Amino acid sequence: MERAQQQSSDSILATLSVDLLIQILDFVADPRDRKSWRQVCRGFLHAEALRRRSLRVLRREALQGLLRRYAACLERLDLSACPSLDDHALAAALAAGAGLWRLRSINLSRASGVGWRGLAALAKACPHLEAVDLSHCVGVGDREAAALATAAGLRDLWLDKCLGLTDVGLAKVAVGCPALEMLGIKWCLEISDIGIELLAKKCQNLRVLDISYLKITNRSLQFVSSLGKLEDLSMVGCSHIDDEGLQFLNNGSNSLQSVDVSRCENVTSSGLISVIEGHKYLQNLNIGDCFPELAPLFLSKLNDLRDSLTVLKLDGFQVFAPSLKIIGLNCRNLVEIGLSKCKWVTDEGVSELVAGCVNLMTIDLTCCHLLTNKALVAIGDKCKNLTCLQLESCKLITDKGLDCIGTCCSNLEEIDLTDCTMTNAAMKYLSRCSELMVLKLGLCDKISDEGLVHIASNCKKLRVLDLYRCFEVTDDGLAAIATGCKRIKNLNLCYCTRITDLGLKHLSCLEDLHDLELRGVHCITSLGITAIANGCQHLTELDLKHCHLVDDAGLFALGQYTKNLRQANLSYCQVSSMGLCNLLGSLKCLQDVKLVHLTQVPVEGFESALRASGGRLKKLKLLTGLRHLLSPGLIQMLQDRGCRIRWVDKPLNLVP
């Protein structure tokens, strides 16, 4: 068909100008269709290049050519999945792009090989850069921050877990990028009050600030409170901050819309009251795991926020029924409530809550052990808009409770029933929710193929299915799922020991499958893996731990077909050096691999396989014993390229 089009392309392009082509292209939404479009002819490719605004690069080899083609119009570039990206590659690609004049946003998250030279080149090549994400680049420090700071127009900057960043680097950014609006410096443990003080003085436009887990004190909050435009403040786990610090926020600026003080051990009700008093338009309040009990004064203060508050998270509190009643009365616009791990949440309390908050869409009741079906009936009765319900470990809930949910909450998109005593009947009720996208049934060992048939019959939109340790599930259930839920992306089949190669063959028709976990499914062989590799070519994560029958043949298939595979766990598999070398050598996207107890692979096998990986790996898990057997040069090379090696010391235990 393509050839036929190409032959007549002259005539089509004679009538269709580029702008018309672009207009047609706008109707092609699916990425796969777009791919077909690109392959039609040069004219189509050119039109697509003019239309494209964002690009996510999966292979380093392609980066240069892609940037050359798309440079002119590109606004957003995602390099977070690009393996072995280093300064050299980045600078070369940017040079090929010859000035990314429109590029506004770049994502370099986890690009651990990028250093200050690459960032300096980036800042120079992209004059209109506004957003940079460097989160989880643990090697990033002050030098890199200084290079970034030359991009004066920067508005959004995410530096989460840049462990080398100190006050000096933060000062560089604060001085160099005065227009900064969003800044994340979560886990940058070296940053202190002094840095925050300067930041607050220099970047008065900050709207979003994440200072979670920093060792900062109340003094920092004093300066943060001077940021008049601050809307979103996250300070999770800042244990040096207490009520005195929160009182600084009560300065009448009223700007804050979202506050997250969860895990701040020294914060109590009185501090939160001053926050509420200072910010009348607060929408989002997360106070999980701060202090054990809710003070009545705090609950009544919530009345001040009755119109604005939409999200309230109270994880880990002791929440009695009267408290929930007051919340129900005071926060009528609540859309989301988090009661995860709360003690003393009873049916009565939940009924009182939902009686007031009828707009609730997300309810998190994880580990509220006292709840029974009555609570679910109340929720189903009142919350017609419910989309997400988390019921993990609510052991007293039975199938009947879900009857009501399935009937009343037709918009339900996500439900977590992990570790609940559900049977196939519950699946029948849930199958009424045709919008269901996420279904978690881990540890529900009574669920069998029959239940999956129910789900497959109506939940066409299912994207995530978790069947962890559902022993009863067999190949037939998977066949039903594979035919009914074509769009499944994540599938967890760990320890579903009755599944065989036949089941995997059924699954191979799931084209969207990205993440497949087959840990401990010991019946499967390379045959099943080959089928999966053949059918699910978008697979990015695969867990084959304790699949003892999988051998080199499976790895060859994976190496040949699943070119996008990024994470693989091959521990305890019966693979040899040959298969391993082939896999690591041919998969250009592989970044995270676990290779514990590969009994058939000698040291030389590891050596050559890791060399074959060509420095693309970012995470590697190996037995401690290999540490001194592998050549130091190899380990040094891996670490220089940004690879973190985790050495584990586990006894060989063949039975999972």
Partner 1 sequence: MDPKQMPTFEACSSMSSQSRNLNQNQRATEFDARETEQSLPKFSSHLDNSFHQSNQAQQVAMNWDPRAVLNSLDILGQKIHQIQDIVRSTLSNERQLSIQPNEFAAQQQLINTDLTCTIIELISTAGALLPLIKNALASGINSPGQIGGVANSASDLDLVDVLRQNDNLLSDGTKDSEYEELIKGLSDWDDEGMKPISTEDIDVKDNEDGVSGENLPLGSYEVLQLEKEEILAPHTHFCAICGKGFKRDANLRMHMRGHGDEYKSPSALAKPSKEGSSEPVPIKRYSCPFIGCKRNKEHKNFQPLKTILCVKNHYKRSHCDKSYTCRRCNSKKFSVMADLKTHEKHCGSNKWLCSCGTTFSRKDKLFGHIALFQGHTPALSMDEVKSQGMSVQGQSDEVMAKEEDIDYLISGNVIEDTNFSGLKGADDDLGYFSSMNFDSFTFGGIDGLQQPSFDTSESLFSFHK
* Interface with partner 1 (CB under 8 A): 86-88, 91-92, 95, 115-117, 120-121, 123-125, 142-143, 146, 149-150, 167-168, 171-172, 175-176, 194-195, 197-198, 201-202, 640
Residue of 485, 549, 541, 479 whose CA lies nearest to 516: 541
Measured distance CA(285)–CA(259) in Å, rounded: 5
Residue 534 burial (CB < 10 Å; 0-12/13-18/19+)? middle
Q: What is the DSSP string of 566-631?
A: -EEE-TT----HHHHHHHHHH-SS--EEE----TT--HHHHHHHHHHTTT--SEEEEEGGGGTTS-
Measured distance CA(646)–CA(628) in Å, rounded: 14
Q: How far is the CB of 175 from partner 1 (least distance, A)?
A: 4
Token pair belonging to 216: 């900062």
Residue 509 half-sphere exposure, CB side, CA atoms within 13 Å?
A: 13
Q: How far is the CB of 559 from partner 1 (least distance, A)?
A: 24
* Other Cβ atoms closer than 10 A to 33: 12
Residue number with CB closer to partner 1 (178 or 656): 178
Q: How far is the CB of 178 from partner 1 (least distance, A)?
A: 9
Residue of 487, 489, 448 whose CA lies nearest to 467: 448
Residue number with CB closer to partner 1 (519 or 616): 616
Measured distance CA(338)–CA(340) in Å, rounded: 6
Residue of 547, 549, 555, 573 whose CA lies nearest to 612: 555
Measured distance CA(170)–CA(168) in Å, rounded: 5
237-270 per-residue burial string, b: 16 or more CB within 10 A, e: under 16: bbebbbbebbbbbbeeeebbbbbbbbbbebbbbe
Q: How far is the CB of 194 from partner 1 (least distance, A)?
A: 5
Residue number with CB closer to partner 1 (92 or 464): 92
Token pair belonging to 369: 């052990």
Token pair belonging to 265: 């051990």
* Other Cβ atoms closer than 10 A to 103: 26
Residue number with CB closer to partner 1 (123 or 558): 123
| R_g over Cα of the chain | 27
Phi, psi of 157 (to 5 degrees): -145, 125
Residue number with CB closer to partner 1 (101 or 344): 101
Query: Helix (H, G, I), strand (E, B), or coil: what is residue 455?
Result: helix
* Other Cβ atoms closer than 10 A to 221: 25
The CA distances from residue 330 to 309, 310, 312, 352, 543, in Å, are 10, 11, 12, 12, 47
Residue number with CB closer to partner 1 (120 or 427): 120
Q: In terms of C-beta distances under 8 Å and separation of at least 24 residues, what long-range contacts does 410-413 make, across chains too? A: 410/434, 410/435, 411/384, 411/385, 411/386, 411/387, 411/435, 412/386, 412/387, 412/388, 412/436, 413/387, 413/388, 413/437, 413/438
Residue number with CB closer to partner 1 (13 or 198): 198
Q: How far is the CB of 193 from partner 1 (least distance, A)?
A: 9
Residue number with CB closer to partner 1 (125 or 436): 125
Token pair belonging to 412: 């339900």
Residue entry with tokens 């090929």: 96
Q: How far is the CB of 239 from partner 1 (least distance, A)?
A: 22
Measured distance CA(391)–CA(415) in Å, rounded: 7
The CA distances from residue 21 to 45, 102, 110, 489, in Å, are 10, 22, 37, 32
Beta bridge partners of 106: 77, 132
Q: How far is the CB of 190 from partner 1 (least distance, A)?
A: 12
Residue number with CB closer to partner 1 (89 or 275): 89
